Amino acid sequence: MKCAFCEDENKDKRVIIKNELACAFLGIQPIVVGHTLIIPKRCVAKFEDLTENEKSSIFNLMKKVKSVLEKTFNCEGFNIAWNENLIAGQTVPHFHLHVIPRKKGDKGIYKYEPRDFLYRPGSRANSKIEELQEIAKLIKNNF
């Protein structure tokens, strides 16, 4: 399968920092100015496909990217996320961590409420503790 990141001839022109195993570059469809993607240099689709060294390299770059974005854009916070599989919004099958600098008044959703952003918007009743205990038991039985 072709990878949009691996085959992007212009990606290197957008790189802001890299290390031995990962690189950070500006996205071509930014939510806000400074929206950065951090990827492993090796093409793998999911977080669990990464080696421990690749994970460490990605998170080290994330710390540096956050720091420089704060200085550059005076941002007040960040959205940091990745999507896995098409059903969850992953359109490029190469793991990529989004680092989105946020400040009051910027465009896009800045009040991140998972229930609004990801699923079942609106208020819902809390689940009963007994139901949650049964679900927890079911999950624990599969470890």
* Element (DSSP H or E) covering residue 129: helix 129-140
- Hey, what domains does the chain have and what are their CATH numbers? 11-140 (3.30.428.10)
Rounded mean pLDDT, 31-36: 88
Residue 98 annotated as catalytic: no
**pLDDT one-digit tens code per residue, 69-120:** 999 989 999 989 999 988 888 889 999 999 998 988 877 655 555 555 554 5
Output the pTM of the full model: 0.80
pLDDT surpassing 80 at residue 4: yes
Catalytic residue among 35, 94, 96, 98: 96
Residue written as token pair 């100015």: 33
Assign 111 to helix, strand or coil. coil
Strands 22-26 and 36-40, bridge-based pairing: antiparallel
